[in-house]
Amino acid sequence: FSAQEGILFFYHIKGLQYEMKICTDILQPISSLIFSPDYTVLLLVTDQGTVYTYKPAHSGEAVKLLDTSSSCFLAADFLTPGNKYCVSVTISGEVQVWLLEDGTCFSKLNLDTEVHVT
């Protein structure tokens, strides 16, 4: 992926040759990528606090799942087992559980402490 430009690339490597194609362009800097446990869904987390889902096997566009820019969103990951939920955390320490299908928030927990990435 291209972090600053928000572009997700696919590289098909065979021996010393490779083919590159653009999978999706979300137009926001990407801060992290996380694959689901079964590698069917990719979470794209942006610097602005938006989370997109992308299904590599379907070769479609990334779908906006969450837009938490107002709450200083910091990170997200899949809640295992399975691919049904993801969990996110804000800088202020709010942990949220989301339904991947439509972005419905199921649960929130405030840790009452500021969170940092190391």
Model pLDDT for residues 25-62, shown as the tens digit of each residue = 888 888 888 898 888 888 888 877 788 888 888 777 88
Q: How confident is the model at residue 1 (pLDDT cuts 50, 70, 90)?
A: low
Burial of residue 6, with CB atoms counted within 10 A of its CB: 0-12 exposed, 13-18 middle, 19 or more buried: buried
pLDDT reported for residue 68: 61
75-110 residue pLDDT tens: 788 888 878 898 888 888 889 898 888 888 889 999
User: Tokens representing 70?
Assistant: 């107002």
**Domain CATH number, residue 20:** 2.120.10.30
How many structural domains compose the chain? 1
E strands within 1-118? 7-14, 17-25, 30-35, 42-46, 50-54, 63-67, 73-79, 85-90, 94-99, 105-110
115 is a domain residue: no
Domain range for 64 is 2-110
Whether 16 has a pLDDT exceeding 80, the answer reads yes
Buried-state track 27-60, b at ≥16 Cβ within 10 A, e below 16: ebebbbeeebeeeebbbbbbeebbbbbbeeeeee
91 is a domain residue: yes
pTM of the shown model? 0.75
pLDDT reported for residue 105: 85
45 is a domain residue: yes
Whether 72 has a pLDDT exceeding 60, the answer reads yes
Whether 69 has a pLDDT exceeding 60, the answer reads no
Whether 63 has a pLDDT exceeding 60, the answer reads yes
pLDDT reported for residue 79: 87
Whether 118 has a pLDDT exceeding 80, the answer reads no
